Amino acid sequence: MNEFDRSEFSELERGTSGLSMADLRLLVELVIPARAGTADPEPAELAGFLAGVLTRDRPDWADRVARLASEADTAYGLRQHPDGDWLADLLWSGYYASPRSWPSVSWHPDPVGGWGDPVADAPIPVTPPSGLAGYYDTVIVGTGAGGGAASEILAASGRRVLIVELGGQPDHAATSDPLRNPRATAGLPGPTDPATAGRPRVSEHSGQLRVVLPPDGPYGNNAFAVGGGTRVYGAQAWRFGPDDFTMATRYGVPDGSDLADWPIGYADLEPFYEAAEHRFGVSGDVACDPWVSRSGPLPMPPLPRTRSGDLLAAAAARLGWGTVAPPLLLNSVDRDGRRACVRCPRCVGFGCPVEAKAGTHNTALPAAVAHGATLCTGTTVERLVVENGRVTGVALAAERDGRIWRGTVGTGEVVLAAGAIETARLLLLSDVGTVHGQVGRRLQGHVYSGALGVFAEPVQDLAGPGVSVGTCDFRHGNDGFIGGGMLADDFVPTPQLSYAYLTGAGLLDRFAGDLPAQMASLAPRMLRVVGPIQEVTSAQSRVSLDPAVTDRFGNAVARLSGSIHEEDRRIQRRQSERAAEWLAEAGAVRVAVAAEFPPGVPSSGMHQAGTCRMGTDPSRSVTDPWGRVWGHDNVRVVDGSLHVTNGGVNPVLTILAGALRIAADMTGR
Ligand SMILES: Cc1cc2nc3c(=O)[nH]c(=O)nc-3n(C[C@H](O)[C@H](O)[C@H](O)COP(=O)(O)OP(=O)(O)OC[C@H]3O[C@@H](n4cnc5c(N)ncnc54)[C@H](O)[C@@H]3O)c2cc1C
Ligand code: SF4
Contact residues for 151 (Cβ-Cβ < 8 A; gap 6+): 140, 143, 161, 163, 360, 364, 365, 368, 373
Task: State the average pLDDT over residues 518-529.
Answer: 98
| Mean pLDDT of the residues in the chain | 95
| Closest C-alpha to ligand 1, atom 17 | 229
- Tell whether ligand 1 has an atom less than 6 A from the beta carbon of residue 627: no
Residue 419 CA, ligand 1 centroid: distance in Å = 6
- Res 669: pLDDT: 78
**pLDDT tops 80 at residue 606:** yes
Task: Write out pLDDT tens, residues 430-450.
Answer: 999 999 999 999 999 999 999
- Res 37: pLDDT: 77
| Closest C-alpha to ligand 1, atom 3 | 233
DSSP letter string over 54-104? Answer: IIII-GGGHHHHHHHHHH--SHHHHHHSTTHHHHHHHHHHHHHHSGGGGGG
- Res 72: pLDDT: 92
Task: Write out pLDDT tens, residues 553-602.
Answer: 999 999 999 999 999 999 999 999 999 999 999 999 999 999 999 989 99
Q: How confident is the model at residue 18 (pLDDT cuts 50, 70, 90)?
A: confident
- Tell whether ligand 1 has an atom less than 6 A from the beta carbon of residue 607: yes
Closest ligand 2 atom to residue 465 Cα is 1
- Res 9: pLDDT: 41
**Is the Cα torsion angle 498, 500, 504, 506 positive or negative in sign?**
positive
CA angle 447–451–457, rounded 5-degree value: 150
For residue 384, what are the β-bridge partners?
A: 394
- Res 128: pLDDT: 96
Task: State the average pLDDT over residues 144-164.
Answer: 98
Contact residues for 555 (Cβ-Cβ < 8 A; gap 6+): 382, 383, 429
**pLDDT tops 70 at residue 404:** yes
H or E stretch at 452: strand 448-454
- Res 212: pLDDT: 95
Task: State the average pLDDT over residues 505-519.
Answer: 95
Ligand located closest to 330 CA? 2
> How far is it, in rounded angstroms, from Cα 635 to Cα 642?
13
Contact residues for 259 (Cβ-Cβ < 8 A; gap 6+): 247, 248, 251, 253, 482, 536, 537, 645
Residue 357 CA, ligand 2 centroid: distance in Å = 6
Contact residues for 80 (Cβ-Cβ < 8 A; gap 6+): 72
For residue 531, what are the β-bridge partners?
A: 449
Task: State the average pLDDT over residues 200-215.
Answer: 94
Residue 353 CA, ligand 2 centroid: distance in Å = 7
Question: How many CB atoms are located within 10 Å of the residue 496 CB?
Answer: 23
- Tell whether ligand 2 has an atom less than 6 A from the beta carbon of residue 352: yes
| Closest C-alpha to ligand 2, atom 4 | 344
Residue 237 CA, ligand 2 centroid: distance in Å = 15
Contact residues for 333 (Cβ-Cβ < 8 A; gap 6+): 283, 300, 301, 340
- Res 4: pLDDT: 33
Task: Write out pLDDT tens, residues 93-118.
Answer: 999 999 999 999 999 999 989 999 99
Task: State the average pLDDT over residues 12-40.
Answer: 81
> How far is it, in rounded angstroms, from Cα 362 to Cα 226?
10
SS3 label, residue 516: helix
> How far is it, in rounded angstroms, from Cα 507 to Cα 104?
18
> How far is it, in rounded angstroms, from Cα 428 to Cα 543?
9
Residue 441 CA, ligand 1 centroid: distance in Å = 19
For residue 448, what are the β-bridge partners?
A: 532
Task: Give 576: exposed, middle or buried? Use CB within 10 Å, 0-12, 13-18, 19+.
Answer: buried
Ligand located closest to 444 CA? 1
Q: How confident is the model at residue 33 (pLDDT cuts 50, 70, 90)?
A: confident
- Res 663: pLDDT: 98
Task: State the average pLDDT over residues 209-223.
Answer: 94
DSSP letter string over 135-198? Answer: EEEEEEE--SHHHHHHHHHHHHTT--EEEE-SSB---TTGGG-SSSSTT-SS----TTS--TTT
**pLDDT tops 80 at residue 636:** yes
H or E stretch at 470: strand 470-471
- Tell whether ligand 2 has an atom less than 6 A from the beta carbon of residue 465: yes
| Closest C-alpha to ligand 2, atom 8 | 352
- Give, as one character, the DSSP assignment of residue 36: T
Task: Write out pLDDT tens, residues 298-328.
Answer: 999 999 999 999 999 999 999 999 999 999 9
| Closest C-alpha to ligand 1, atom 52 | 233
Mutation test of ligand 1: which of 132, 193, 222, 543 has the most ligand atoms closer than 8 Å to its C-beta? 222
Check residues 669 and 424 and name the one with the higher pLDDT: 424
Q: What are the start-end ranges of the H helices in 320-370?
A: 364-370
Q: Which amino acid does the sequence have at 192?
A: T
Q: Which amino acid does the sequence have at 101?
A: S
Ligand located closest to 239 CA? 1
The percent of residues in the chain predicted with pLDDT above 90, rounded, is 93
Start-to-end C-alpha separation, the chain: 51
> How far is it, in rounded angstroms, from Cα 184 to Cα 223?
13
- Tell whether ligand 2 has an atom less than 6 A from the beta carbon of residue 342: yes
| Closest C-alpha to ligand 2, atom 7 | 357
Residue 334 CA, ligand 2 centroid: distance in Å = 13
- Tell whether ligand 2 has an atom less than 6 A from the beta carbon of residue 330: yes
- Tell whether ligand 1 has an atom less than 6 A from the beta carbon of residue 609: no
Ligand located closest to 193 CA? 1
Q: How confident is the model at residue 14 (pLDDT cuts 50, 70, 90)?
A: very low
pTM beyond cutoff 0.95: yes
- Res 12: pLDDT: 46
Q: How far is CA 559 from CA 171, 549, 579, 615, in A?
A: 31, 9, 34, 24
Task: Write out pLDDT tens, residues 58-83.
Answer: 999 999 999 999 999 899 999 999 99
> How far is it, in rounded angstroms, from Cα 401 to Cα 611?
34
Number of H-type helices and E-type strands within the chain: 16, 19
- Res 570: pLDDT: 97
The percent of residues in the chain predicted with pLDDT above 70, rounded, is 97
DSSP letter string over 367-429? Answer: HHHHTT-EEE-SEEEEEEEEETTEEEEEEEEEEETTEEEEEEEEEEEEEE-SHHHHHHHHHHH
Cis status of the peptide bond prior to 353, with omega within 30 of 0: no
**pLDDT tops 70 at residue 1:** no
**pLDDT tops 70 at residue 272:** yes
Q: How far is CA 622 from CA 9, 257, 442, in A?
A: 52, 18, 11
**pLDDT tops 60 at residue 246:** yes
Residue 293 CA, ligand 1 centroid: distance in Å = 27
Question: How many CB atoms are located within 10 Å of the residue 10 CB?
Answer: 11
Task: Write out pLDDT tens, residues 343-360.
Answer: 999 999 999 999 999 999
